Amino acid sequence: MIRLVWCLVVLGMLSFGCKSSAPTEPPAVEQPAPLREVASFPVGVALQARRLSSAPHTRAAARTFSSLTAEYEMKMRPLSSGQGVYNWEAADDLVSWARAQGMQIHGHALLWHESVPAWVENFGGSDHEFEEAIKEYITTVVERYKDDVVSWDVVNEAFDNNSGALRNSVFQKRMGDDYLARVFQYARDADPDVLLFYNDYGATYDANKRRSILRMVDDFQSRGIPIDGVGLQAHVTYTFPPLTSIQAMMDSIVVRGLKVHLSELDVRVNPNGDLTTLTPARSQAQKERVRNIVTAFMALPQEHRFGITMWGLIDPESWLIEFWGNPEWPLLFDANVQEKPAYDGFLEALQGR
């Protein structure tokens, strides 16, 4: 009997030892559904070409998004270093990568007063020659990407803050107050099928800028100048501007028969600089803000929902950190390229939850 008990004890110890030494797999973490598979409209991300060398970036971007905007490389300064001189490599890399992922491409931006190359700023010819050079630039760029780029921000931020006056840019000074209409027409002539957008910030809270943008749209439509949509940059905080203001501006675009693009969405959670780390409470507030904005966008008629584009992929690479000088976490992915609660808020809105 003693020998039998001893054997059972030994067998039990051996059995226990075998169990403890067997490798155990960590529990699988289920990823949330990709936004691109749930959304009924393009969900985009702005990337720089240098991010394409990072596998975590490309995996997350390709899995999550169905549209790509070049954050930098399709602006005039990086694209053209001299009249008739073009630097296509970085923009081409983004286009090729997006095509391989089955992503559509939104072109940003043909003209922007803060991305003017020296040859444009210091152009020595006549005003007529200046406009011919700008027309040639727009035509060359739009024609090069006409098989890949489905939409362009033709002009970015043409109106001043607060006053809503036409910005005193080199384009306005050399081409006159009606330059907006003419460059939209040049883009249309270069690609009859591409969608043309005007893009700006502040239209949801700056009454004068909003009035100027809508007045421009009305003028274009009365004269037959081509325009297909308005991009609202949607650089918002977790509390400002009020959702009703965002809804009102989107509705103003829709009633004019145009498409709405929430073109540069990010949600600041540290606008007052009171945080050094992202708190659970502020993260939850960001989630609710994203969900509410996407839900408001979903309420628009489908034919007017062009898309929503996040202005960046992961928090530490956001332009807002350097611009405002505060720690910030404004995007859908954290520093480890993991989905945040804000991602869940976006997804829940798409799913009607």
Catalytic residue (choose from 71, 73, 157, 348): 157
Residue 285 lies in a domain: no
For the chain, the average pLDDT equals 93
Rounded mean pLDDT of 211-231? 98
Residue 77 lies in a domain: yes
Prior bond of 109 cis (ω within 30°): yes
Residue 21 lies in a domain: no
Is residue 157 annotated as a catalytic residue, yes or no? yes
Residue 338 lies in a domain: no
Domain count, the chain: 1
Catalytic residue (choose from 264, 288, 303, 317): 264
Residue 276 lies in a domain: no
Q: CATH number of the domain that 236 lies in?
A: 3.20.20.80
Strands 259-268 and 305-310: parallel
Residue 40 lies in a domain: yes
Identify each DSSP E strand in the chain by its residue range.
43-47, 67-70, 104-112, 149-156, 195-200, 229-232, 235-237, 259-268, 305-310
What is the span of the domain harbouring residue 226?
33-268+302-313
Return d(Cα 27, Cα 285) in angstroms, integer. Answer: 29
Q: Which of 24-38, 86-100, 288-302 has the lowest mean pLDDT?
A: 24-38
Q: Which of 25-39, 61-75, 78-92, 156-170 has the lowest mean pLDDT?
A: 25-39
Sign of CA dihedral 177, 142, 188, 263: negative
Take residue 137 and report the two structure tokens written for it: 């630039």
Task: Report DSSP letters for 139-151, one per residue.
Answer: HHHHHHTTTTEEE
Residue 187 lies in a domain: yes
Tell me the whole-structure pTM to 2 decimals: 0.91
Residue 101 lies in a domain: yes
Return d(Cα 90, Cα 50) in angstroms, integer. Answer: 8
Rounded mean pLDDT of 307-321? 98
Per residue in 105-135, pLDDT (tens digit) is 999 999 999 999 999 999 999 999 999 999 9
Which pLDDT score is estimated for 165? 97
Per residue in 322-337, pLDDT (tens digit) is 999 999 999 999 999 9
